Amino acid sequence: MISLDFNFNVLTRDLSLYLENQVKVGLFGSGVLSLVLGFSAAYAYYYLISVAKKPQLISGGKKFYQFLRDQCPVVSETYYPTFWCWESRIQTLLRPFVTAKPGVSYRNELIRAADGGQISLDWFDNDDSASHPNSATRPTVLLLPGLTGTSRESYILHMVQQSRELGYRCAVFNNRGVSGETLLTPRTYCAANTEDLEAVIEHIQRTNEDAPLMAAGVSMGGMMLANYLGKKGRETCLKGVVVFSAGWDVFACTASLEKPLDRFLFNSYLTSCLQAGVDRHKSVLEKSYDIDHVMKAKTIREFDERFTSIMFGYPTNDDYYHDASPIHKLKSVQVPMLCLNAADDVFSPCHAIPVEAVKQNPNLALLITCHGGHIGFLEGLWPRRSTYMDRVFKQFAKAVIEQGGDLNDLSS
């Protein structure tokens, strides 16, 4: 290992003199090559000093903190973002295109909800599991995609692949109306309402009574999981939860996404995706909502003001956003929950990451990387097969399922 402990001012001075002398050789001599090599050396130094860093691990209790250090070595390792795309927005935008989509065959199940609607659940049964051949006791991982995501998102497919390697079964909870099923009632979903999630968890538990169950949520799926745990306390069968790129304070998240560049890159696109879902089920929804007004929304906030908050009976959109923000419910979480956020995530700004709230609850742990964007966490020269987020998921899932006894009574 080459030591990086030397004076940066000396390096830059010597490098500047070196490049100045080399450029004098001419543009068509060794000067160009030397300039490129010099720039590469400077970039590599900057990357190793300022970009590649160990994540910050925060927990409200020593027991959970030590468990993670012992069972999940990834939390103590330096995260090396892909060197040519470590910037937040680039990580966020590129992940769907550069990461591979593992082949996964699902078994779909439609669950009838109490209000007459239906919920689409995609199962990966993993009947070829060598480590858990008995289907009755095979561990199950419940996966929750993001705002408009389905079981076909690359990050979900990667977690299914990681679970397959561990010998576990997966169930992907698709929010109402997003995965091709018919919307039977004029109701979709939101981050604050966890009734459908509760129905799914109860259904999975009834179906596989002897199988341990844990859950992983991404972005809004993580927010929904955190809100569910905050409401249920100890009254849940989940053995553990891991949450990726969750938005903890919806007011801060929407404000961040309304900045000009982020509105252009992300907000407008996500708003159009939400509107496409409404338009797809227009025949059912137009009886209860002003669809034309909804379709004129330009931002997620405007969409929520005109549609989501009204659907779920909130007096104002601010009331909905307060209820949807998991930061207000973290003190009530009684199940081990690991949360991964990147400090540069524009969807979940750094100042709104609930560091102090996590410190007050021994059941919570927060892993913060300097880079990674929103559901990015790309690493390696060409990050097709695995990401830092995938490694966190796999190690934590294995730890919860196979060493979960060590997580009993984290308050002691």
Q: Do residues 380 and 268 share a domain?
A: no
Can you tell me the distance from the alpha carbon of 31 to that of 18, in angstroms, rounded to the nearest whole number? 10
- Provide, for the chain, the percentages of residues in helix, strand and coil under a 3-state DSSP scheme, each rounded to the nearest 5: 45, 15, 40
Name residue, tokens 């199962």: 123
What was the pLDDT predicted at 3? 43
Can you tell me the distance from the alpha carbon of 109 to that of 118, in angstroms, rounded to the nearest whole number? 10
What was the pLDDT predicted at 26? 47
User: Residue 400 carries which side chain, given as an amino acid letter?
Assistant: V
Residue 388 lies in a domain: yes
User: Residue 387 carries which side chain, given as an amino acid letter?
Assistant: T
Q: Do residues 81 and 153 share a domain?
A: yes
Q: Do residues 231 and 273 share a domain?
A: no
What was the pLDDT predicted at 412? 62
Catalytic residue check, 219: yes
Instruction: Single out the catalytic residue among 129, 158, 249, 374.
Output: 374
From the first residue on, what is the mean pLDDT of each consecutive set of 10 residues in the chain (412 residues)? 43 48 48 79 86 96 95 96 94 94 96 96 97 97 97 97 98 96 96 98 96 98 98 96 98 98 97 97 96 98 98 98 98 97 97 97 97 96 91 98 87 68
CATH number assigned to the domain comprising residue 173: 3.40.50.1820
DSSP state of 55: P
Task: Collapse the DSSP code of 379 into the 3-class scheme (helix H, G, I; strand E, B; otherwise coil) and give the result.
Answer: strand
What was the pLDDT predicted at 77? 96
Residue 217 lies in a domain: yes
Radius of gyration, CA atoms only, the chain: 23
* Domain end position, chosen among 324, 359, 383: 324
Q: Is the pTM of this model over 0.75?
A: yes
What was the pLDDT predicted at 30? 62
* Domain end position, chosen among 324, 340, 367: 324
Q: Do residues 210 and 271 share a domain?
A: no
Catalytic residue check, 374: yes
Question: Facing residues of 281 across strands?
Answer: none
Can you tell me the distance from the alpha carbon of 295 to that of 206, in angstroms, rounded to the nearest whole number? 40
Catalytic residue check, 345: yes
* Domain end position, chosen among 291, 324, 357: 324
Q: Do residues 309 and 359 share a domain?
A: no
Q: Do residues 306 and 359 share a domain?
A: no
Instruction: Single out the catalytic residue among 196, 249, 323, 345.
Output: 345
Residue 30 lies in a domain: no
What was the pLDDT predicted at 46? 85
Instruction: Single out the catalytic residue among 219, 309, 325, 348.
Output: 219
Residue 19 lies in a domain: no
What is the span of the domain harbouring residue 355?
A: 53-249+327-404
- Closest by CA position to 56, among listed 411, 389, 365: 365
Q: Do residues 181 and 242 share a domain?
A: yes
Instruction: Find the distance separating the first CA and the last CA of the chain, reported in whole Å.
Output: 40
Residue 295 lies in a domain: yes
Q: Do residues 184 and 267 share a domain?
A: no
Residue 7 lies in a domain: no
Residue 18 lies in a domain: no
Residue 42 lies in a domain: no
Can you tell me the distance from the alpha carbon of 394 to that of 130, in angstroms, rounded to the nearest whole number? 17
Question: Facing residues of 121 across strands?
Answer: 109, 173
Q: Do residues 170 and 301 share a domain?
A: no
Q: How many CB atoms within 10 Å of residue 288? A: 12
Q: Do residues 294 and 152 share a domain?
A: no
Q: Do residues 76 and 205 share a domain?
A: yes
Q: Do residues 157 and 220 share a domain?
A: yes
Can you tell me the distance from the alpha carbon of 173 to that of 350, in angstroms, rounded to the nearest whole number? 28
Dihedral, CA of residue 35, residue 41, residue 47 and residue 52, to nearest 10? 160
- Count up the domains in the chain and report the number: 2
